[in-house]
């Protein structure tokens, strides 16, 4: 028996278990349900207000330009979100070297310039994500990375990935508080 998406949603919505319960204020909870049983009144207004949050692009010529349709960083809600940063020389657009140590050093310098342009610093970074072409470089990267972040160090995730843009050895993204 073939099911359409609309039929599945309709069947789910007709079920007594379909109502979604969230820890909301009584006024908000009174107007929230699934599949149109009630309208989203106060929640929709709250979400519309949240959606109107000021979002500001951060751009500096002291770090490599974005390689595609994205910003070097975005400032929103007292946070700055840095896109993945590569070990490119901002003047030439080329990698400083093929080595992971040199690329890591340049990544960290580029991050510093973007943080500075946003009004943040290494000390205000709360979360980083490191992507490595080879997880065997983890120890080398740690030694360089540790020089840039004062204690307490940011929360962090590190992954080996199948490939990075321009065949980079490392890419780091981060979030900082403003």
Each residue's pLDDT, cut to its tens digit, for the chain (178 residues) gives 444 444 443 443 444 444 434 344 444 444 444 444 444 455 445 455 555 688 999 999 999 999 999 999 999 999 999 999 999 999 999 999 999 999 999 999 999 999 999 999 999 999 999 999 999 999 999 999 999 998 999 999 999 999 999 999 999 999 999 9
Q: Which domains does the chain have, with CATH numbers?
A: 7-51 (no CATH), 55-177 (3.30.1330.40)
> Residues 169, 161: contact at Cβ < 8 Å?
no
Q: What is the pTM of this model?
A: 0.72
* HSE-CB for 94 with a 13 A CA cutoff: 4
Distance of CA 92 to the CA centre of its chain: 26
Nearest CA-CA partner of 152 in 111, 123, 174: 123
Q: What is the pLDDT of residue 151?
A: 93
Q: How many angstroms separate the CA atoms of 115 and 72, rounded?
A: 10
Q: What is the pLDDT of residue 11?
A: 41
Residue spans of beta strands (DSSP E) within 34-140: 55-58, 73-76, 79-85, 125-132
Q: What is the pLDDT of residue 72?
A: 98
Q: How many angstroms separate the CA atoms of 173 and 81, rounded?
A: 8
> What is the sign of the dihedral through the CA atoms of 75, 94, 160 and 154?
negative
* HSE-CB for 11 with a 13 A CA cutoff: 6
| Residues belonging to the chain | 178
> ω before 152 within 30° of 0 (cis)?
yes
Nearest CA-CA partner of 85 in 100, 69, 103, 97: 103
- Judged by DSSP in three states, 35 sits in coil
């Amino acid at each position: 028996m073939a099911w359409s998406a609309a039929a599945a949603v309709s069947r789910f919505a007709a079920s007594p278990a379909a109502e979604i319960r969230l820890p909301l204020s009584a006024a908000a909870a009174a107007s929230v349900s699934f599949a149109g049983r009630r309208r989203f009144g106060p929640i929709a207004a709250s979400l519309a207000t949240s959606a109107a949050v000021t979002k500001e692009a951060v751009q500096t010529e002291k770090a490599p330009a974005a390689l595609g349709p994205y910003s070097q960083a975005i400032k929103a809600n007292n946070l700055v979100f840095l896109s993945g940063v590569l070990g490119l020389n901002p003047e030439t657009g080329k990698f400083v070297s093929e080595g992971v140590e040199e690329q890591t050093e340049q990544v960290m310098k580029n991050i510093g310039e973007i943080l500075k342009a946003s009004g943040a610093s290494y000390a205000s970074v709360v979360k980083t994500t490191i992507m490595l072409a080879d997880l065997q470089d983890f120890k080398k990267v740690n030694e360089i990375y540790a020089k840039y972040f004062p204690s307490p160090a940011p929360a962090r995730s590190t992954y080996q990935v199948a490939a990075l843009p321009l065949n980079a050895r490392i890419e780091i993204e981060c979030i900082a508080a403003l």
